[in-house]
Chain A
Amino acid sequence: MPSGNKGGGDGLLNTCEHCCTRVEDLTVKLGSNVILSRVNLHVNCGEVVGVVGPNGAGKTTLLRTLMGEMPYQGKISFRVGGNPSQTPQIGYVPQKLHLEKGAPVSVADLVASAVTRRPVWAGIDGSTAGRVKEVLSLFSAEHLVKRKIGDLSGGELQRVLLAIAMTPAPDLLLLDEPAGGVDAKGLALFYRIVRGLRQTHDISVILVTHDLAGIYSYVDKMVLLNRGVIAEGAPQEVLADGKLVEVFGAALWNISCLPDIVKDKGKGGDNAD
């Protein structure tokens, strides 16, 4: 499912008229530890951007900084509907929840908490229940409504969390490692749904993952992050870049579903050494 507007996208990127999220010279430190260094990132409206990098590359920190949770140096600006915005609506799908297996929180409880202020401990009324089902059905999850959150499989949980992140519809959707604990089939379904959101919503998506092989056919742009931006561009370009191998190391060409171009590049680099 390659994107259709790659050429146009690159042209717009230079002028950045269509940037919905723009990160300039972003540095994030935790004590004396530099987690992100001079990161520049432009996300166009309606674009799905994959940020890939090894563990500890600062991916989650990037998302938390965009959400306003971390102090930073540099500039972050958002545009909503063509106008600058300080507080865009952000949808966020966390990597994991702070939740024990037996916790008595049902899928309906969580989604109802997102659609109404009426407290769910007092029960979910009919009209809320209807809206909960409606929201879940958009993400192939309506059958999960009575299940406990802790009993869901990785893929099911991701879809429920996505349904919540999309309610109300955000301007920017942030996905943190959706591949964790999700099987290949569930992941493909999840990426397809995310990709489909672009048709129905005016939304940009930043997807953070180490699952290079899984996302490359679903994103418009790929950013290789390892504390700083190592490479960025159309997925094919980034995959063809020799730096990919430097960052990910030898583990990379064990992934059988990567395009051949990467494996050739990787082996070439290896021989040269």
Chain B
Amino acid sequence: MPIDFWYKLVNTLPFEWAHYVFMENALLAVLLVTPLFALMGTMVVSNRMVFFTDVLGHSALTGIAIGVLLGFQDPVLPMLLLAVLLSVGVNLLKNMTRASMDTVLGVLFAFIVALGIVILSRRGGFAKYTGYLIGDILTVTPAQIGWLLAIAAAVMVYWLAAGNAMIFTSISSSLARSRKVNTFWVETSFTLLLALVVILSIRLAGILIINSLLVLPAAAARNISRNMRAYTAWAVLISLFSGISGLIVSFYWGTASGATIVLFAAACYSVSALFGAGRNR
């Protein structure tokens, strides 16, 4: 098993945390998920989809609720179905109206969160699900890591195939179409990938903070980048740095890893904002 090789490798590190299997799993998950989040985040920020991904993350709550109602053991399937439905629906709506989606998303957000809470809080049972709100990367299993690897591969293929088409699509859909880019397909497949990434990592990252993990590295990279290569590279680096530092620090502090990672990413954002402002002057 390649995972055993990984355990041996991390075990050779002279740190206390490196001797726990849950930390070894978590570190592997962080090394996989943070660059993935960074890549997706660059496009989320460029395409002004920050609010949308927040709705997507919170829809997990309702997905779990529907799963509970229908008697699912593992709520991943209903969560995924709801997220896919939302992605396609919002994308269709955006293409039909060309209007600002701000209010529509706000209404959707309120409705979906309320529905989830109402169903899950029946007979005072909501406390069972609070784990989903904060997430726990320390519970990650090798099987989940396998799934994340598969999504990471899919995202990489998409990035290689549609990278340039995405740039045109995000700056002017008419310009993109004049260049024979199928903008509907580019946008729809991106939002579907986004739904997959968000839902399959929601257990690790948590409903409340998954959006920060997606958005912060890209937002920080944007402050200091002058082209797409720098933007992508900085986002991945900042995300990896925050992920590794946050995970290790959370071990010693005894805090939730996801939120600790977000704090590191937020610190990176502040530094990059100062640095960017200094350079533009």
Contact = CB atoms under 8 A, between A and B. Distances in A.
B228 A104 contact: yes
Interface string B99-119: 000000000000000000000
B146 interface: no
A257 interface: no
Interface in A94-115: 94, 97-99, 102-106, 108-110, 112-114
A181 B275 CA distance: 30
Contacts of B229: 120-124
B163 A148 contact: no
B164 A106 contact: no
Interface residues of A, number: 38
B179 A108 contact: no
A8 interface: no
A117 interface: yes
Interface in B168-191: 168, 170-175, 177-179
A108 B164 contact: no
A215 interface: no
Q: Is the interface of B mostly helix, strand, loop or mixed?
A: helix
Interface in B147-171: 159-160, 163-164, 167-168, 170-171
Interface in A137-160: 146, 148-149
A161 B178 CA distance: 12
Nearest to B222: A104
Contact of A109 (B42, B175, B222, B228): B228
Given A117-B164, A119-B160, A120-B228, A105 B178 contact: no
B159 A119 contact: yes
Given A105-B167, A113-B164, A121 B228 contact: yes
Nearest to B218: A104
A146 B228 contact: no
A113 B172 contact: no
Contact of A104 (B159, B164, B177, B226): B226
B221 interface: yes
A98 B170 contact: yes
Contacts of A146: 226-227
A109 B178 contact: no
Contacts of B174: 64, 67, 69, 92, 94
Given A104-B221, A104-B225, A113-B167, A67 B172 contact: no
A121 B163 contact: yes
Contacts of A103: 46, 222
Interface string B36-49: 00000010001000
A235 interface: no
Contacts of B46: 103, 105
A90 interface: yes
Interface residues of B, number: 29
Given A104-B231, A113-B164, A148 B226 contact: yes
B34 interface: no
Q: Which of B163, B179, B230 has the most CB of A within 10 A?
A: B179
A139 B10 CA distance: 55
A94 B175 contact: yes
Nearest to A118: B164
Contacts of A94: 172, 174-175
B257 interface: no
B232 interface: yes
Q: Which of A68, A123, A174 has the most CB of B within 10 A?
A: A123
Contacts of A67: 174, 177-178
A91 interface: yes
A161 to B, nearest CB: 8
B222 A98 contact: no
B11 to A, nearest CB: 34
B217 to A, nearest CB: 13
A67 B178 CA distance: 7
Given A105-B167, A121-B159, A92 B175 contact: yes
Contacts of A90: 178
A113 B231 CA distance: 16
A99 B42 CA distance: 14
A119 B162 CA distance: 8
Q: Which of A69, A94, A104 has the most CB of B within 10 A?
A: A104
Given A69-B177, A124-B229, A148-B227, 5 more contacts: A90-B178, A108-B227, A109-B227, A118-B164, A120-B228
Interface of A: 64, 67-69, 90-92, 94, 97-99, 102-106, 108-110, 112-114, 116-124, 146, 148-149, 161, 164-165, 174
Top 10 A-B pairs, shortest CB-CB distance: A119-B163, A92-B178, A113-B164, A106-B227, A104-B225, A104-B231, A121-B232, A109-B228, A121-B228, A97-B171
